[in-house]
Amino acid sequence: MTTIAEQLQRVIEARQASSHTTATLRFEREAWEQLHSALLAGEKESREWCAAEEAKLRELALAQYAITGDKQVAPGVVIRVMPRLDYDAQRAYNWGLQHQLALTLDKKAFESIVKAQGVVSFSDLGFVTKRDEPTATIASDLEGAQIDQITVATPASDFIAKVQP
């Protein structure tokens, strides 16, 4: 059986270890990046140069295709004709409403709107109910936690065992 005090101590130790590892990694990464800054700059420059040259090749290939209609422009360069749709977003949305298709609820936005309206207007939405759900929040800084002063009548693990099937 683990008490809250024991688990709190374990969380403190785990956070310390995680923080130390993250700081060490950050330091080592910064040192490596400094040591290899010329290589990193060269890699970025060559990546940008490659992207620019590929864009120019695509442009030339499309121009060649427009003239000849031949999809095999050059060895390794092929034109694929992909279907694309252009449409007015509002009309598409209205169509979706009318046909009850292609619609998804933006859950985050919906809940924000309903919460902002408050409990009084929940009755306007007969399908929405409000419930309070407890959530355990752990402070980000536990270094000053006075674990020895925690008093719990029943260890939390006993309670959890009784609640869970």
Residue 113 lies in a domain: yes
Query: From CA 12, how far away is CA 53, in angstroms rounded?
Result: 52
Residue 123 lies in a domain: yes
Over the chain (165 residues), what is each successive 10-residue block's mean pLDDT?
A: 88 95 98 98 98 94 93 92 85 85 85 72 69 78 73 54 55
User: For residue 117, what are the domain limits?
Assistant: 102-132
> What's the pLDDT at 151?
63
User: What number of CA atoms fall less than 13 Å from residue 142's CA on the CB side?
Assistant: 17
87 located within any domain: no
Q: Residue 93's pLDDT is what? A: 85
Is residue 43 a part of any domain in this protein? no
List the beta bridge partners of residue 72. 78
The answer to whether position 164 is within a domain reads: no
Q: How many domains is the chain partitioned into structurally?
A: 1
pLDDT on residue 152:
56
Domain membership of residue 116 (yes or no) is yes
Looking at residue 32, what is its pLDDT?
Answer: 98
- pLDDT given at position 100: 83
